[in-house]
Structure 1
Amino acid sequence: MASTAIQRQLEDAGNRLAEPLSSVDELLPLLDAMESYLAKLEQSPTDSTQRALAPAQNALVTDQLLRHPDADVRVAVAACISEILRITAPTVPYDDEQMVDVLELIVSSFDNLEDTTNRSYSKTVVMLESMARVRACVLMLDLQCDALITDMFHKFFNTVRDYHPENVVSAMETIMTLVIQESEDNVPLETITTLLDSVNKGNEEVSAVARKMARRVIQACCSTVSAASTSPASSPADGGMEDNNGGPAVEKEASSSGSTGSWLGSRFQWLFR
C-alpha cells in the first residue's frame, strides 16, 4: 500500500504536469520525480492510490508530452507511462487510440539501448524489462499493431551487441517470444521475415549476438514460426522476396529442392538441418 506522502507527492506532480511548462529544464526534473514516485507503487492500487494517480495518468498522454520535440522528454514520458502500465496491469489504463500512441512511444525509446552512455539508457532498460515482465507487448497483438511489432523486432536485432548485459538480451528475447507465442498463429509475415533474416550470416547489419538471440527465439517458438513461414500468405504469389537479379528467390529455392514451399518455409527448414 502506498503511503499518504507518496500519494500526495504523486498527485501534486500530476497536477503540475497538467500545467503548461515552458522549458525542458522544468519538465525533466518533474518527470524524473514522477517516475520515482510511480516506481514505489505496487500493482493492484487502492482506490486512494488510483485517485492520486489519475492526474499524472491523464497528463502523460496529452499531445504536448507524447509528441514533445525533445527526445529526452519523450523518453521520460514513456518511462512514466511504462510504470503506469505496470501498476494497473492487467487492467489497460487507456483507450485503444491512446494505447497505440503509448506503445509507439515506448518502442521508439528502444533506440536508446544502442548507446549505454546515453542519458536515457537506464530508463529505457527499465521500460524494456517492465514490458517483458508485465507482458505489455501482447497489447500490440490485441491492437493489431503489426508494423510496430516488426519495427520493434528490427530495433532489437539491429541494436543488441556483445556489450549489452544479460538482462537486456533476456528481456528482448522474452518480449519477442511472448509476441510470437501469443499471436495464435497470426504472426505478421514481415515479423517472421525479420526474425529469419536475423539468423542469416550474410546480413551484415546483424551482430553475432543478435543472430544467437534470433535462433533462441525461433527455437522457443518453433511450431508457430514453422506454421507462419510455410503458410499460403508467404507464397511468391503474394509478393515474395526477390533474389539479387530481381526474380523471385522463392521459386529458385523451391525448384532446387523439389518443394513447393515458400521462400520463408525453405529458410526455416534450412535453419534446422
Structure 2
Amino acid sequence: MTYFDRKLEKQLKDREIEKQVKEAGNRLLNLPSSTDDLLTLPDKVENFLAYVEQEPSKSMIAELDAPYKDEQMKEIFQLIGAAFENMPHVSTHSYNKVVSIIDTIAKVKLCLVMLDLECDALVVEMFQNFLKIIRSNYPPAVLSAMETIMNLVIDESEDISLDLLS
C-alpha cells in the first residue's frame, strides 16, 4: 500500500469517526428517557472517542466543541443526578458506568459547569446522593472522585447555600 493509499484510508476512517461522534452528540441532544439508556450511550461515545487522535483535525475539533445549550446541559445534569441516586451495587455493569461518570466529572471539573449554570438544587442533590450512597465497599478511587467533586464545588462557590451546608 502506498503512502497516498494509507493517507486516503486514514482520511476516510477519520470522516467516519467524525460522523459517528456527531451522531452520538445529536443523540445526547435528544436526551434518552431512562437512566439505563443514558448509561449505554457513553459506551458508544467512548468507543468512537478512542479513535480520536491526540491532535485531532479541525473538523473533528468542531464536532467535539460543546454543542449543548444551557437548558440541555441542565437536563443532562438532572439525568446524571438520577444515575447517582440510583447507583447500583458494585457488581453490576451500571455501577461501572456511574463510576466512570463520577470519575469524568471529577477529572474535567464538569461540576463547575453546574455552578456556572446556577444548578444549585442539582448540586445539593448530588452532594446528598454522594453522602447517601457512600459505602465502605466502594474502591478508594470512587470515594476520592466524589471527594474531589465536592471539594471543587465548595472551593469554587461564591456563596455556599444553607441547603448545601446542611
The structure in which a higher percent of residues are helix is 2
Q: Give the Cα–Cα distance (whole angstroms) in 1 for the partners of residues 162 and 45 of structure 2.
A: 29
Is 1:168 the counterpart of 2:153? The answer is no
**Aligned pairs, how many?**
143
- Aligned match of 2:161 in 160, 183, 188? 188
Larger radius of gyration: 1
Once the two structures are TM-superposed, the CA of residue 7 in structure 1 deviates from its matched residue by 4.9
CA deviation digits over 1:29-62, x for unaligned, max 9? xxxxxxxxxxxxxxxxxxxxxxxx3222122221
User: Identity over aligned residues, as a percent?
Assistant: 35
Aligned ranges for residues 204-223 of structure 1 at < 5 Å? none
Q: Which structure 1 residue ranges, 5 or more long, are not aligned?
A: 15-52, 194-273
Once the two structures are TM-superposed, the CA of residue 96 in structure 1 deviates from its matched residue by 0.5
Secondary structure at the aligned position of 1:113 is classed as coil
Secondary structure at the aligned position of 1:60 is classed as helix
Counterpart in the other structure of 2:16: 8
Amino acid at match of 2:41: V
Counterpart in the other structure of 2:56: none
Is 1:178 the counterpart of 2:146? The answer is no
CA deviation digits over 1:14-43, x for unaligned, max 9? 4xxxxxxxxxxxxxxxxxxxxxxxxxxxxx
- Go from structure 1 to structure 2 and tell me whether the alpha carbon gap of 1:130 and 1:9 turns closer, same or farther (over 3 Å shift): same
Counterpart in the other structure of 2:24: 56
RMSD of aligned Cα (Å): 2.9
Q: Give the Cα–Cα distance (whole angstroms) in 2 for the partners of residues 10 and 124 of structure 1.
A: 26
CA deviation digits over 1:68-99, x for unaligned, max 9? 4xx42122236667999xx98xx643110111
Q: Give the Cα–Cα distance (whole angstroms) in 2 for the partners of residues 105 and 83 of structure 1.
A: 21
Q: Give the Cα–Cα distance (whole angstroms) in 1 for the partners of residues 93 and 141 of structure 2.
A: 19
- By relative contact order (CA 8 Å, sep 6+), the higher-ranking structure is 2
- Go from structure 1 to structure 2 and tell me whether the alpha carbon gap of 1:7 and 1:144 turns closer, same or farther (over 3 Å shift): same
- Aligned match of 2:82 in 108, 113, 117? 108
- Aligned match of 1:155 in 112, 129, 138? 129
Once the two structures are TM-superposed, the CA of residue 112 in structure 1 deviates from its matched residue by 4.5
Counterpart in the other structure of 1:77: 41
TM-score by length of 2: 0.73
- Go from structure 1 to structure 2 and tell me whether the alpha carbon gap of 1:168 and 1:6 turns closer, same or farther (over 3 Å shift): farther
Once the two structures are TM-superposed, the CA of residue 140 in structure 1 deviates from its matched residue by 1.0
Q: Which structure 2 residue ranges, 5 or more long, are not aligned?
A: 1-9, 53-60
- Go from structure 1 to structure 2 and tell me whether the alpha carbon gap of 1:94 and 1:79 turns closer, same or farther (over 3 Å shift): farther
TM-score by length of 1: 0.46
Amino acid at match of 1:54: K
Q: Is the 8 A contact 1:138 1:182 kept in 2?
A: yes
Q: Give the Cα–Cα distance (whole angstroms) in 1 for the partners of residues 47 and 111 of structure 2.
A: 14
Q: Give the Cα–Cα distance (whole angstroms) in 2 for the partners of residues 149 and 83 of structure 1.
A: 29
